[in-house]
């Protein structure tokens, strides 16, 4: 399986699903949402979008496995080809009419991340990359920022919304970053945060409590754009380990040190 072929073939499908979400957002009624768990919302838009993605990707790769947020399909995640799908990353933003949400599709082959697509729906920006290639936004090559140090950096994060066991550690990291950077931003879509690290709008990003579908595509795009991605200990368990640090190389060591120091317990 050729990652470039698969990613390029999947982009029109992702944009089609994004157009569906954009259209539904114009008349969306909050009364139709459901609560999966504390502060985790789902609607018919998420479910329909996921079904559209699964059907389209299955047509492209009939034997593929899936890891999906809404569990609309049960497919072996240990298949040779696996798609990691978040049909609507930023559902709470979507429900409240805040224009920051995305479609995220990651690609694994033989257990290794080798491609990703993040489509920021409202700005019509499609970020993508494949193994052996560069990273792009709407066909234009992108790279991580060239900030020299952390004090010149803009940092993205996501607030804990259901797992509050490490709240004190998290707030301590925020405090350190408030004193030592240009500022912090919380957009509400981890996939968008990572895409923005890849194109240099953010210099670094960290969050805990995330699932594979939140980070798979964006993490790969960051790496293809010249950035570094790890878990909080500096290891490689960011996909299924529910914690991620992503940054451009010049600030990566200092940024990771701050996160690791406060989460080391």
Instruction: Please count the structural domains in the chain.
Output: 2
Residue 255: give its domain's CATH number.
Answer: 3.40.190.80
**Whole-number Å distance between alpha carbons of 122 and 48:** 19
Instruction: pLDDT band for 65, please (50, 70, 90 cuts).
Output: very high
Cβ-contact 234, 224 below 8 angstroms: no
What does the mean pLDDT of the chain come to?
92
Indicate if the pLDDT at residue 9 is higher than 80.
Answer: yes
Which residue would you say has higher pLDDT here, 44 or 143?
A: 143
Q: Once rounded to an integer, what is the mean pLDDT over residues 164-170? A: 86
Indicate if the pLDDT at residue 39 is higher than 50.
Answer: no
H-only helix segments in the chain:
3-25, 44-60, 91-96, 167-180, 190-198, 212-224, 249-263
pTM: 0.94
Are residue 38 and residue 162 in the same domain, yes or no? Answer: no
- For residue 108 the two structure tokens come to 């694994």
Indicate if the pLDDT at residue 195 is higher than 80.
Answer: yes
pLDDT of residue 218: 98
pLDDT of residue 75: 67
pLDDT of residue 106: 98
Neighbours of 254 (CB within 10 A): 15
Mark which of 141, 162, 186 sits at the end of a domain: 141
Mark which of 141, 161, 182 sits at the end of a domain: 141
Which string of DSSP letters, residue by residue, matches 56-68? Answer: HHHHHSTT-EEEE
Are residue 163 and residue 126 in the same domain, yes or no? Answer: no
Instruction: pLDDT band for 69, please (50, 70, 90 cuts).
Output: confident
In the three-class reduction of DSSP (H, G, I as helix; E, B as strand; rest coil), residue 103 is classed as strand
Q: Which of 160, 182, 156, 140 is nearest to 246 (CA)?
A: 156
Which residue would you say has higher pLDDT here, 91 or 41?
A: 91
Residue 23: give its domain's CATH number.
Answer: 3.30.540.10
Q: Which of 107, 108, 137 is nearest to 124 (CA)?
A: 137
Domain that holds residue 21: 3-141
Q: How many residues make up the chain in this entry?
A: 265
Are residue 130 and residue 218 in the same domain, yes or no? Answer: no
């Amino acid at each position: 399986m050729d990652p470039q072929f698969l990613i390029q073939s999947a982009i029109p499908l992702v944009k089609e699903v994004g157009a569906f979400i954009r259209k539904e957002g114009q008349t969306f009624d909050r009364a139709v949402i459901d609560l999966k768990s504390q502060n985790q919302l789902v609607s018919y838009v998420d479910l329909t979008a996921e079904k559209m993605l699964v059907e389209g990707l299955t047509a492209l790769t009939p034997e593929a496995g899936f890891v999906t947020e809404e569990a609309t399909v049960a497919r072996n995640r240990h298949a040779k080809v696996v798609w990691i799908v978040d049909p609507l990353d930023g559902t709470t933003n979507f429900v409240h009419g805040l224009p920051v949400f995305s479609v995220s599709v990651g690609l694994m082959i033989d257990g290794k991340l080798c491609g990703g697509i993040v489509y920021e729906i409202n700005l019509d920006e499609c970020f993508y990359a494949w193994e052996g290639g560069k990273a792009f936004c709407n066909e234009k090559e992108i790279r991580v920022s060239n900030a020299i140090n952390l004090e010149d950096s803009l940092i993205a994060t996501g607030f804990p919304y259901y797992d509050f066991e490490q709240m004190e550690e998290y707030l301590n990291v925020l405090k350190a970053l408030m004193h030592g950077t240009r500022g912090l931003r919380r957009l509400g879509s981890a996939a968008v945060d990572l895409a923005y690290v890849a194109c240099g709008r953010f210099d670094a990003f960290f969050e805990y409590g995330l699932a594979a579908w939140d980070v798979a595509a964006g993490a790969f795009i960051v790496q293809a754009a010249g950035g570094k991605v790890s878990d909080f200990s500096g290891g490689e368990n960011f996909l299924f380990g529910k914690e991620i640090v992503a940054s451009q190389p010049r600030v990566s060591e200092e940024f990771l040190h701050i996160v690791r120091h406060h989460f080391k317990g």
